[in-house]
Amino acid sequence: MAVGGRVIINRQALNELLYGRTGPVARMLEHQAERVTQEAKRLAPVSPVGEQDHPSGQLRSSIGWDLTHDGRQLVAEVRAETDYALYVEVGTRPHDITSHGDYPLRNPKTGAVFGRTVHHPGTKAQPYLRPSLDVIRGRVD
């Protein structure tokens, strides 16, 4: 017995389902982004007294998420919005720091003077963003 039929796709409803900010895909992305954000905040290193000009907990408090549309699909973006977030995540190689003027480098808290160029030994990576994705990979509760 032959069965025939016709399927009509409501593109507006389909687009709202897949790409709308209130649809189930958006709600799932928001839920996952919030889970990753909370795990990143848990994993982010915190200096008890703050370092340089950064107050204690600044990195952790800068971690957040946003739901955007990139023109083709919904995107949940988790990020840390400090000027040093990437350096904490991936570390730094040894490097020289040179004064940008005709003056020596100084520690503003202690008043110590270092000279016009200082060799920095680099910093060890302290990943907190990439490992936070494990919560949606099922590796962390």
pLDDT value for 140: 56
pLDDT value for 55: 81
State which residues of the chain have pLDDT below 50.
Answer: none
Distance between CA atoms of 95 and 63, rounded to whole angstroms? 27
pTM summary value: 0.76
Distance between CA atoms of 74 and 79, rounded to whole angstroms? 16
105 within a domain of the structure (yes/no): no
127 within a domain of the structure (yes/no): yes
Distance between CA atoms of 28 and 53, rounded to whole angstroms? 38
3 within a domain of the structure (yes/no): no
pLDDT value for 73: 86
Longest CA–CA separation in the chain, Å: 92
Q: Residue 14 to residues 9, 10, 18, 79, 107: CA-CA distances in angstroms?
A: 8, 6, 6, 29, 59
pLDDT value for 62: 96
- Full residue range of the structural domain in which residue 44 is found: 11-92+123-135
42 within a domain of the structure (yes/no): yes
35 within a domain of the structure (yes/no): yes
pLDDT value for 51: 63
2 within a domain of the structure (yes/no): no
Total domains, the chain:
1
61 within a domain of the structure (yes/no): yes
64 within a domain of the structure (yes/no): yes
Tokens of 60: 């952790």
